[in-house]
Amino acid sequence: MQAFDIFSFHGGIHPPENKAQSLQLPLGRPGLPNELILPLGQHIGQSSRPLVKAGDKVLKGQTLAINNGFLSSFLHAPTSGTITAIEERLIAHPSGLSDLCVILQPDGLEEWQALEPLVDWQTKNRTDVLAYLSEMGIVGMGGAGFPTQVKLQGANKSPLTHFIINAAECEPYITADDMLIREKTLELILGIEVLQHLVNASQVVIGIEDNKPTAIKLLNDLLDERNSTIKVAVVPTKYPSGGEKQLIQLLTGKEVPSGQHPADIGILCQNVGTCVAVHDAVYLGKPLISRFTTLTGDALNAPQNVEVLLGTPVSHLLAYAESQDNRLHRLVMGGPMMGFTLDSPQVPVVKTSNCILAATKEELPPPAPEQACIRCGMCEQACPVSLLPQQLLWFSKSQEHEKAEHHNLFDCIECGACSYVCPSSIPLVQYYRHSKSSIREARESAVKADLAKQRFEARKARQDAEAAEKEAKRLARQKPAPTKDASKVAPKAAASAAPATNDEAKKLKVDLAIAKTKLKKLEKQLLSAQENEHVEEINNLQLQVTDQANQVKDLEAQMAKVAPAAPVAKPTPAAQDSASDELKKAKVDLALVGVKLKKAQKQLDETPDDADLKQKVADLQAQQQAAQAKLDQAGAATQVAAKSAPKPAANDELKKAKVDLALAGVKLKKAQKQLAEAPEDAELKQKVADLEALQKAAQTKLDQAQASDNVTAKPASGEAAANGDELKKLKIDAAIAKAAVKKVEKALKKAEELQAPELDTLRQQFKDAQQRASELEHALANPNAQPKTTVASKPTQNSVGTADEDKKRKVDLAIAKAGIKKAEKNLALLKEQGKSEADIQASEWPQKLLDAQQKLAQLETATPAAETASAKKTSTAAQAQPAAPTNADDDKKRKIDLAIAKAGIKKAEKNLALLKEQGKSDEAIQASEWPQKLLEAQQKLAQLESTEAPQSNPAKAKPSTIEASTSEPANDDAPQASLAEQIKQQKIAVALAKAQANKLAKKLGVEPDNAEQVQIEIAQLKDKQAQAEHLLEQLMKQQESQ
């Protein structure tokens, strides 16, 4: 036997050994317990995956659970029996928590499954042997339970210098390894040889403390006998020399660097228990199903070492070792230094349980209360890892985890030496454990947060991409649309198909109308800007106006292109356009100069002596004259162009004349106003007179234009379409005339108030205007009759005429509605302004509202009649022309009506809600028009919906069937439709009654004062509801029977 160099490690303590008690008796073999509890997680890493289920019969050594991933292990049946359950049981863990366990009820037969030892382990592939060890469920039995095959694999990274077998067993009380060496010396050596074969280390050393002389002697004798190269290194007794890193340091003098494993410096460490388990597996084919455990402590009458089946409950072992329950104070699994207290004796022995310590109160007194640290430094002296326990304590206490990590907290082996020596009884290790788990938790949550962030960002990126794709698709859809239209139009135009060109023409017309309105608006703005003398704005607006005018021109040109194909061709000469453009420009110039002039004049008024200003005014006047001349010229050109052009040109001229007139009127008004303010101003008077003259001239011009228009229009009046146009024109004229009358009236009033001198002229004007308005109205009445006569004679134009009429009616309807809206708005405004009811009644608005409503009602009654008439006409016309477009139009119309009705309902509801919010009483709400309106709208909606159902059907059907007869399908559907309508109405009535009842009930809750009244109302409503429901039922039955 040769001596082995022994080194030393820093610190360490010498607690009382207490090892003798458990060595008095020979190795015991407790009998089978009633049940074995086999936790699925007896090792470090993932819990095993059970292969059996409750009720399975298993043989001794049969695999119960297999590894679940790399860092996991197998589990075998320690004896034969029945699996009664796989359930949560308390396990041997410091937390005292439960975990999933396989419960095995032994049958007492101890029936082994067929054992297949790995006899050819020396010739077998290394990987196969490791896999075999894994399947045998072998894990490190020293304390951590690290799966052995993983450790051996890790040891293969670099050539090993030392293979150390840990037999130190430094913790007090524990003698399991000592007993194991004594009992199974040969098995141990054979196991070591198997492992040495696998790892091929240059030196194999058994490290053993000098307090186990018997074991040392047995080992030496056997090794000498076998001429083995395995050395036995006896180390002095010192806690914790059994720690892996401490033993390595003792035997090799090398320190395992912080954060590394022994394998990184070419050293492998294995516990003696593991070596014996490896022997059993390889030589006997027995999986790891039992282990040596020390039963000790003063509470036991027969402390001893036992070979115990895994899963045996601690209580069974305590009974075997004759525990005195009255003396048992604390039950510890593991040693007194590193073990943990068991809350219950029901927990099972697992692969890593080397000791059960049943201590009395005297043996392991409760820890003394923690005192303040006195900075004695004894912990630092005791620490086997050369840490600074005091520093770590501060950092742990103040949760400064980062600093604690900087002080190598994770190198702490939790041996408890520092706590042991601490005079203030500070549970230092517990602080460190807490800090460690906090840091681990933080790291885990950081990893999780990172993952969550990644996933969140990935999701966001995906969503953005989807949105972008959608947008791109939408754009792609939008782009080809016009080209498609164009391509559609082109061939059709080539084929000179009238409907297509009609469509195109319609579209263009609409565009043109829009462009024109814009232009008009801009011109208006320009005018107002000129009046208000904003020079920059004027320039800006002027630009816009020219742009818009160009656009209009383009559209008109396009229109002209399309128009020849259209049935009603309207030649629009370009010359006139340019002429009118020029005219416009000239006018704008003139207006600008006028504005400037005015400004200058004003300044001049303020400072009459300023020669410069005078000069300027003169210049401007000259400019104005020039502009006027230009304007006249342009006007003449336009007139020439207009004359050469047929009717539309005349129309344009008319418009122009009207605009001139309006302009003149405005100017006149302004001048009059000024005059009213300063009646003595001769200049102003002169100006007013001038302007009046101008207005008159414009008026005559307008008259002329109208006359010429009439002349040009008359020849065309034979055509119905022209009739409609004229009608429109006349109406517009009438409206203008009326407006003029109103204006003059106003002016007259003002003049009367101010007692202005030109009262007479204004009166005259008023009379003129009135006369004109009446004339126009008269004229309007006449042509109204004309279409009717033409309608009768020409059936093909009939539909056009009726369509026009239809449109007219609709426009009227819309106007009436707008009127109602306005009246309502005004009423609401009045109410808001806090006017009393009487005031409101006295104002004209209620009357107006009533009028408008009546008109609307009239129109609405007229509309269906007209619609039916037009429908009839179209159906007769359908014999000559395809009816599909009209039908489609009808459909559209209906839909629009439907939408309007729905919107009406919504509005009514909104208003009701608003009224309620404003705190109006129920009566007031009932008295207001809204509930009534809501009801009406709902009824209308019902009507519309019922009419739509049957009518949309034929529209959807093939045109050919419609050609055959439009009315037939409608007739077939008619009774059903009416029934459906009725049902719908009843349903609505029921729903309405319900809703109202609900509302009232709610009200009841809010206003208990009116309770009785409200309740009566509710009862009434419920009656109503019941009635409606009854009717509904009847109707439904009727429908079913049909």
Report d(CA 47, CA 100) in Å as an integer.
9
Find the shortest distance in angstroms from Cβ 98 to another protein. Answer: 8
* Beta carbons of 875 and 925 less than 8 angstroms apart: no
Taking the least distance from each CB to another protein, the nearer of 44 and 694 is 44
* Sign of the C-alpha dihedral computed for residues 105, 109, 113 and 117 taken in this order: positive
Taking the least distance from each CB to another protein, the nearer of 10 and 434 is 434
Report d(CA 927, CA 509) in Å as an integer.
47
Find the shortest distance in angstroms from Cβ 427 to another protein. Answer: 5
Report d(CA 42, CA 443) in Å as an integer.
25
Taking the least distance from each CB to another protein, the nearer of 98 and 1010 is 98
Find the shortest distance in angstroms from Cβ 453 to another protein. Answer: 5
| Alpha helix segments (H runs only) across 125-212 | 126-135, 148-155, 176-183, 185-199
DSSP 147: B
* Beta carbons of 219 and 232 less than 8 angstroms apart: yes
Residue burial 759-788, b: 16+ Cβ < 10 Å; e: rest:
eebbeebbebbbebbeebbebbeebeebbe
Report d(CA 699, CA 668) in Å as an integer.
13
Residue 233: closest CA among 391, 415, 3: 3
376 binds another protein (CB under 8 A): no
372 binds another protein (CB under 8 A): yes
Binding piece for another protein, criterion CB under 8 A, among 436-444, 505-513, 970-978, 984-992: 436-444
| Binding residue for another protein, selected from 87, 225, 264, 441, defined by CB under 8 A | 441
Taking the least distance from each CB to another protein, the nearer of 154 and 427 is 427
Report d(CA 772, CA 769) in Å as an integer.
5
Q: Kindly write down the DSSP assignment for every residue of 720-759, as one continuous string.
A: HHHHHHHHHHHHHHHHHHHHHHHHHHHHHHHHHHHT-TTH
Find the shortest distance in angstroms from Cβ 398 to another protein. Answer: 11
| Binding residue for another protein, selected from 8, 214, 301, 437, defined by CB under 8 A | 437
Amino acid (1-letter code) at residue 791? V
403 binds another protein (CB under 8 A): no
Q: What is the CA 466 to chain-centroid distance, rounded?
A: 13
Helix axes 844-877, 884-917, angle to 10 degrees: 160
User: How many C-beta atoms lie closer than 10 Å to residue 479's C-beta?
Assistant: 10
* Sign of the C-alpha dihedral computed for residues 10, 14, 18 and 24 taken in this order: positive
Binding piece for another protein, criterion CB under 8 A, among 163-171, 322-330, 445-453, 470-478: 445-453
Taking the least distance from each CB to another protein, the nearer of 99 and 777 is 99
Taking the least distance from each CB to another protein, the nearer of 444 and 968 is 444
Binding piece for another protein, criterion CB under 8 A, among 158-166, 442-450, 616-624, 955-963: 442-450
Taking the least distance from each CB to another protein, the nearer of 447 and 927 is 447
37: three-class secondary structure by DSSP: strand
Taking the least distance from each CB to another protein, the nearer of 344 and 532 is 344
Contacts with another protein: how many residues (CB under 8 A)? 37
String of contacts with another protein for each residue 29-58, x by CB under 8 A: ------------x-----------------
Taking the least distance from each CB to another protein, the nearer of 334 and 904 is 334
Residue corresponding to tokens 């359930």: 87
* Beta carbons of 463 and 471 less than 8 angstroms apart: no
Find the shortest distance in angstroms from Cβ 259 to another protein. Answer: 21
Which structure tokens are listed for 127?
Answer: 């990987």
Taking the least distance from each CB to another protein, the nearer of 422 and 613 is 422
The phi, psi pair for 365, rounded to 5°, reads -65, 155
Binding piece for another protein, criterion CB under 8 A, among 367-375, 478-486, 865-873, 977-985: 367-375
Q: Kindly write down the DSSP assignment for every residue of 211-272, as one continuous string.
A: T-HHHHHHHHHHHHHHT-S-EEEEE---BTTTSHHHHHHHHH---PPTT--GGGGTEEEEEH
User: How many C-beta atoms lie closer than 10 Å to residue 951's C-beta?
Assistant: 20
Taking the least distance from each CB to another protein, the nearer of 347 and 730 is 347
| Binding residue for another protein, selected from 117, 154, 427, 882, defined by CB under 8 A | 427
139: three-class secondary structure by DSSP: strand
209: three-class secondary structure by DSSP: strand
String of contacts with another protein for each residue 299-328, x by CB under 8 A: ------------------------------
The phi, psi pair for 265, rounded to 5°, reads -110, 20
Find the shortest distance in angstroms from Cβ 467 to another protein. Answer: 14
| Binding residue for another protein, selected from 105, 360, 430, 623, defined by CB under 8 A | 430
452 binds another protein (CB under 8 A): yes
Query: What residues from 455 to 494 belong to the interface with another protein (CB under 8 A)?
Result: 455-456, 458-460
97 binds another protein (CB under 8 A): yes
Find the shortest distance in angstroms from Cβ 416 to another protein. Answer: 13
202 binds another protein (CB under 8 A): no
Residue 2: closest CA among 317, 333, 231: 231
| Binding residue for another protein, selected from 183, 255, 370, 537, defined by CB under 8 A | 370
Taking the least distance from each CB to another protein, the nearer of 221 and 402 is 402
| Binding residue for another protein, selected from 431, 766, 845, 930, defined by CB under 8 A | 431
Report d(CA 981, CA 975) in Å as an integer.
10
Find the shortest distance in angstroms from Cβ 88 to another protein. Answer: 10
Paired residues of 163 in beta bridges: 204, 268
Find the shortest distance in angstroms from Cβ 348 to another protein. Answer: 14
91 binds another protein (CB under 8 A): yes
Find the shortest distance in angstroms from Cβ 459 to another protein. Answer: 5
Binding piece for another protein, criterion CB under 8 A, among 213-221, 422-430, 538-546, 819-827: 422-430
Binding piece for another protein, criterion CB under 8 A, among 54-62, 249-257, 292-300, 366-374: 366-374
Binding piece for another protein, criterion CB under 8 A, among 91-99, 279-287, 729-737, 1005-1013: 91-99
Report d(CA 511, CA 787) in Å as an integer.
28
Binding piece for another protein, criterion CB under 8 A, among 302-310, 438-446, 608-616, 867-875: 438-446
| Binding residue for another protein, selected from 2, 24, 34, 95, defined by CB under 8 A | 95
Q: Which residues bind another protein (CB under 8 A)?
A: 41, 91, 93-95, 97, 99, 368-372, 396-397, 426-427, 430-431, 433-434, 436-438, 440-441, 445, 448-453, 455-456, 458-460
